[in-house]
Chain A
Amino acid sequence: MIAEIGFGSLFISLIISVYGVIAAIYGERNHQRKWVFSAKQAMRLVFPLLTLSIGSLIFLILNNNFEVVYVASVSSINMPVYLKITAIWGGQAGSMLFWSWLLAGFGFIVTFRKWDRDQDFLPWVIAICLGTIAFFVVLNTFFENPFVRYWQVNQEIVQSFVHPPGGIQVAPRNGGGLNPLLRHPGMIIHPPMQYLGFVAFIVPYAFAMASLITGRSDDRWIQLSRPWAIWAWLFLSLGLILGARWAYDVLGWGGYWGWDPVENSALMPWLSGTAFLHAVLIQEKRNMFKQWPIVLIIVTYNLVIFGTFLTRSGLLSSVHSFARSSIGPIFLAFIALTFIASFWLLSSRWEKFKSRQVLTSFFSKEALILITIILFLGMLVTTFWGVIFPNISELVTGQKVTVGPPFYERVAGPILGGVLVIMVICPLAVWSFVSFKHLGKLLWKPFIVSLLGVLLPIYGGLTKVPAVIAFWLVAFVLAVNGFEFIRRTRLRRRSQSESLFQTISGVFQRNKRSYSAIIIHVGMVFMALGIIGIEFFQTETQGTIAEGQELQLASYTMEYEQLDIFNTSDDRNVARAVILVKKDGQVIDEIYPRRDFYYDSNQQVTIPGVRSTLVDDFYTILVDWKAVTSEGATFKVYHNPLVKWLWIGAWTIILGVVVTSLPDNRSTRAGSRTRGRDGHRN
């Protein structure tokens, strides 16, 4: 019964989506507002319908309805409720329903904004959002139906949604349970964040297309899209960082990013989305390069669909990939169609979106941001090429090849360096024109301070040249931002009598956006620090030691104290080692690397024991143990310097985005009071 409700509402939502697309376009073409209004109502209706559908699926999972194939494949009786909820996106069919549901939710929100000024956009935004929803719902309805059930027909088990003639409904006693690797708190938040990020980028795309179709070439679509794009970017960043954190905490290989094709497919929209946000800035401030944001949002939209496709095509071997399925060609057709249509539309409007402003200086802010965009696109092309090259090579030469992490790392290193160089100059550059001399004047003090970033590591015995350069760039960016902040605060202090605190908060208030940008960029630099640490300085060792014996790595010594093996109430067998971490002969910490064996899925998961500080992580993995555990256990140990800065940087970035989206309580008043004074530099 519940399955019928779930599928029924799914199917009705498909009909309504298709109706909405047609009504919106028909109404627009014939200037009949009532049809557009009807389409808007359709878009509002799809969300509750899909909510009912996904609600039914949740009910079936919570209720252990294993006659439903999907429920049996991702859930089991003993799984706690929170894991059963995450099981919704633990498999292919459910994750796609979840995807459609989120998009329908965003569409729902979009319909409730004030459309007075933007009536001309409305039908196209509806058509594009509902069209995308319809595509995913078609897949869910006809190819990946999460409500398919087991039936027994003549001694044979068949899977079908409708009742086959002569069939009896059957159910396994217990489900297979969620893949144990996914049973981690990070996994509760990582996939929804990833999906939210993916899906939220569809709204800016819809606005861009509406702008192209209507030929309205002002920056209205940018204003409407920007908040969506920022939140999409934040969710995508969160998704990526949570995924990295999960890999570091659960996968037990000492790293956080493996250039796995599915990781790459989540990284690609992030790269183009980042480029998009920067292109938006140039258009807003200088009204330049107006085609760029459109190109970038089209690319982002298609990468979002491409990423969703890659994960589900069976094209890849990856920890992420779902089972192979037949929906690959349909996805490719959809991507090809939207890609070609979007760019055809853009080319037909190319002249209209042409800007008459031109670049005037290499060191102007717009030129620097443009270079940043090119660098991000370079990284995007690299990643894309790495992902598809094996397929292309097989098509052309018949020879299967793969491209491993060294390829990506070799390209990413210099590009990241280039981005850091620009982050040194950019905060000091101004829009439209700046001379090298002017820059030099502002740069020399931070430059001297940044030399500390070179001298200290060299004094500490560092000899790797790329690492020295990287540390120097990091120090330089931090110094530039620090000096810039002090300079602005001073300028304001000189002109106003107020407390230091008032000044600082005033400086923030007056130009919230550029300060949140500083926070985000400083966060990026922190992340760069973490990446430098683990990429250049990770060391490892391994060994089998008896109880009471020690292993040494970097400045740490670990002592294997004991191993406990026990069963837990949720059907796991846990082997947990107790490790004393020592430094200079003193015990400073106790950590517990362990291995969980899941009886229901017959699979084990290795969870590292980590001592984490701002300086370094001491990361231990329990590999194996002898029958008599006191005789010995095998450990693999990693020393990961500075890696904690990766996570600190990530949280800093999130803080920056939150700051930028805080409501301005004083900004208008304070802004009008001081703008004249500090409106231009010096």
Chain B
Amino acid sequence: MNDLHPIDAEPRKGKPLKFIIGGLVIVAAIVYLIVSSLQANVQYFLTVDEVLEKQQAGELSGRNIRLSGAVVGDTIQYDMDTLELSFTIVHVPGDLEMVEEEGGLAAALHNAVIDPARSRLEVVYYGARPDLLQDEAQAILTGELLANGIFKADELLLKCPTKYEGSVPDQIES
């Protein structure tokens, strides 16, 4: 080694190559882990329209997907003995800008539920009835579309935009 630097308390005796290879092996192992896990666990995140479209094209069979839509309050049915929860969701645009154009998420959800022309999808879920399941809530579901066109959800996430900050309180006085 043509090392002209002053030598430190301890002379060089390492073989850097060995350590570079060792480091690369670890990095490669981590990268492999990430890539393989990602391939195995990525889910489509779809709107109701997209689900129906992809189903027609036959792209969904047996695939675990995630979808979101607006909950129609009247359709919520819950059987306490079997813990079977079923309801219908309506298509809400997935694009944030389109949602903003409608006047925010709360308005978009409201428009979706009152619009009979929008595509709908029946959902069934087994388990506890979530606290936030109500009319015009945004449901984010994970599961798979069954052959009979019903979406069987394994996981159910709900969001009620009106319940968080940002809404104008209804009773205002001077």
List A residues at the B interface (Cβ < 8 Å): 66, 72-74, 91-92, 150, 152, 157, 168-176, 179, 314, 317, 322-324, 356-362, 367, 370-371, 374-375, 378, 381-382, 385, 389-390, 393, 399-404, 406-407, 410-411, 414-415, 432, 542, 544, 595, 601-606, 621, 623-626, 632, 634, 636
Q: Which of chain A's residues have a CB closer than 8 A to the CB of B40? A: 406-407, 410
Contact indicator A374/B163 (Cβ below 8 Å): no
Once the chains bind, are B44 and A171 in contact (CB under 8 Å)? no
Q: A402 to chain B: closest CB distance in Å?
A: 5
Picked from A174, A176, A371, the residue with its CB within 8 Å of the CB of B167 is A176
Q: Which of B8, B45, B169 contacts A172 (CB 8 A)?
A: B169
Query: Please, how many residues of chain B have a CB less than 8 angstroms from a CB on the other chain?
Result: 59
Question: Which one of B16-24, B69-77, B115-123, B145-153 is at the interface?
Answer: B16-24
B174: shortest Cβ distance to chain A, in Å? 5
| Cross-chain contact B165 with A322 (CB below 8 angstroms) | yes
| List of A residues within 8 angstroms of B101 by Cβ | none
Q: How far is the CB of A91 from chain B (nearest CB, A)?
A: 5
CB atoms of B83 and A411 under 8 A apart: no
- Closest B residue to A260 using CB positions: B157
10 contacting pairs across A/B (C-beta < 8 A)? A66-B169, A73-B166, A374-B23, A374-B26, A407-B40, A411-B37, A415-B30, A415-B33, A626-B80, A632-B80
Contact A356 B165 (CB under 8 A): no
Q: Which partner residue on chain A sits nearest B26 by CB separation?
A: A374
Partner of B80 from A410, A602, A621, A634 at Cβ < 8 Å:
A634
* B115-166 CB contacts (< 8 Å) to partner A: 127-129, 131-132, 138, 140, 142, 157, 159-160, 163-166
Across-interface contacts of B169 in A (CB, < 8 A)? 66, 72, 172, 174-176
The CA of A92 and the CA of B147, in the complex, are separated in Å by 44
Which residues of B lie under 8 Å from residue A324 when comparing CB positions? Answer: 96, 104-105
Q: Which residues of B contact A362 (CB under 8 A)?
A: 18-19, 22
Residues of B within 8 A of A374 (CB): 23, 26-27, 30
Contacts of B57 in A (CB 8 A): none
Complex CA gap A175/B170 in Å reads 10
Closest chain B residue to A389 by CB distance?
Answer: B38
**Complex Cα gap A402–B37 (Å):** 13
Q: How far is the CA of A402 from the CA of B78 in the complex (A)?
A: 28
Q: Which residues of B in the span 43-94 have a Cβ within 8 Å of any Cβ on A?
A: 43-46, 66, 68, 78, 80-81, 83, 94
- Closest chain-A Cβ to B162's Cβ sits at a distance in Å of 9
> Which chain A residue lies CB-closest to B37?
A410
- A contact residues around B45 at 8 Å (CB): 390, 400-402
Complexed CA–CA distance, A324 and B138 (Å): 15
In the complex, are the beta carbons of A404 and B142 less than 8 A apart?
yes
Main DSSP-derived SS at the B contact region: mixed
Q: A150, A401, A432: which has the most chain B beta carbons within 10 Å?
A: A401
Q: Of B14, B30, B36, B42, which contacts A360 at CB under 8 A?
A: B14
Contact B164 A323 (CB under 8 A): yes
Pair count A-B, CB < 8 A: 167
Q: How far is the CA of A631 from the CA of B135 in the complex (A)?
A: 28
Are B41 and A157 closer than 8 Å at their CB atoms? no
A317-B157, A360-B14, A606-B131 as given contacts; A170 in contact with B26, CB under 8 Å: no
B27 nearest CB neighbor, chain A only: A374
Please state if A636 and B127 are interface contacts (CB–CB under 8 Å): yes
Interface pair A173/B171, CB less than 8 Å apart = yes
Known: A411-B34, A432-B10, A634-B128. A401 touches B166 (CB 8 A): no
Pairwise interchain contact B30-A542, C-beta atoms closer than 8 A: no
**Chain A residues in 8 Å Cβ range of B172:** 150, 152, 157, 170-172
- Asked whether B94 lies within 8 Å of A400 as measured between CB atoms, the reply is yes
Measured CA separation A243–B46 after assembly (Å): 30
* Across-interface contacts of A73 in B (CB, < 8 A): 165-167
**Is the CB–CB distance between A401 and B30 below 8 Å?**
no
User: A73 vs B167: C-alpha distance in the bound complex, in angstroms?
Assistant: 8
For the complex with contacts A360-B14, A400-B94, 14 further pairs of A-B residues with Cβ separation under 8 Å are: A91-B165, A170-B173, A322-B164, A370-B23, A402-B43, A403-B42, A406-B40, A406-B41, A407-B41, A411-B34, A542-B83, A542-B127, A603-B132, A623-B129
Given the known inter-chain contacts A92-B165, A362-B22, please indicate yes or no for A542 contacting B128, CB distance below 8 A. yes
- Neighbouring A residues of B83 by C-beta, 8 Å: 542, 544, 623, 634
Query: What CA separation (Å) do A173 and B167 show in the bound complex?
Result: 15
How far does the alpha carbon of A382 sit from the alpha carbon of B44 in the complex, in Å? 19
CA distance A19 to B37 in the complex (A): 50
**Across the interface, which residues of A come within 8 angstroms of B165, CB to CB?**
73-74, 91-92, 176, 322-323
Task: Contact check, B174 vs A603: say whether CB atoms are below 8 A apart.
Answer: no
Q: A357 CA to B14 CA in the complex, in Å?
A: 9
Cα separation A276 to B19 with both chains bound (whole Å): 21
B128 touching A385, Cβ below 8 Å: no
Q: List the B side residues contacting A173 at CB < 8 Å.
A: 171, 173
Contacts of A626 in B (CB 8 A): 80
Asked if A172 and B171 make an inter-chain contact with CB atoms under 8 angstroms apart, the answer reads: yes
CB of B82 to closest CB in A, whole Å:
9
Hey, which chain B residues are within 8 Å of A623, CB to CB?
Answer: 83, 128-129
Chain A residues within 8 Å of B41, by CB = 403-404, 406-407, 410
A408: nearest chain-B partner, CB-CB: B37
Contact B140 A168 (CB under 8 A): no
Residue on A nearest B174 in the bound complex, by CB: A170
A contact residues around B164 at 8 Å (CB): 179, 322-323
Distance from B78 Cβ to chain A, minimum over Cβ atoms (Å): 7
Chain B CB within 10 A, most for which of A73, A385, A621: A73
A172-B171, A624-B129, A636-B127 known; A314+B96 contact, CB < 8 A: yes
Q: Which residues of chain A come closer than 8 Å to B36, judged between CB atoms? A: 410
Partner of A358 from B12, B80, B140, B166 at Cβ < 8 Å? B12
Please name the residue on chain A nearest to B170 by beta carbon: A172
Check if B174 sits within 8 Å of A168, measured CB to CB.
yes
Q: Give complex CA distance A604, B132 in Å.
A: 8
A403 to B159, CA, bound (A): 19
Tell me how far the C-beta of A381 lies from the nearest C-beta in chain B, rounded to whole angstroms.
7
Give bound CA distance, A170 to B171, whole Å.
10
Asked if B38 contacts A407 (CB within 8 A), the reply is yes
B144 CB, nearest partner CB in chain A, Å? 13
Query: A249 to chain B: closest CB distance in Å?
Result: 15
B131 near A621: Cβ-Cβ < 8 Å: no
A167 CB → nearest B CB, Å? 11
Q: Chain A nearest CB: distance from B83 CB in Å?
A: 6
Q: A179-B164, A322-B165, A400-B44 are in contact. Are A359 and B159 (CB under 8 A)?
A: no
CB distance from A25 to the nearest CB of B (A): 34
Q: CA separation between A423 and B51, bound complex, in Å?
A: 48
Asked if residues B14 and A358 are in contact (CB atoms below 8 Å), the reply is: yes
B143 to chain A, nearest CB (A): 12
Which A residues are in CB contact (< 8 Å) with B16? 358-359
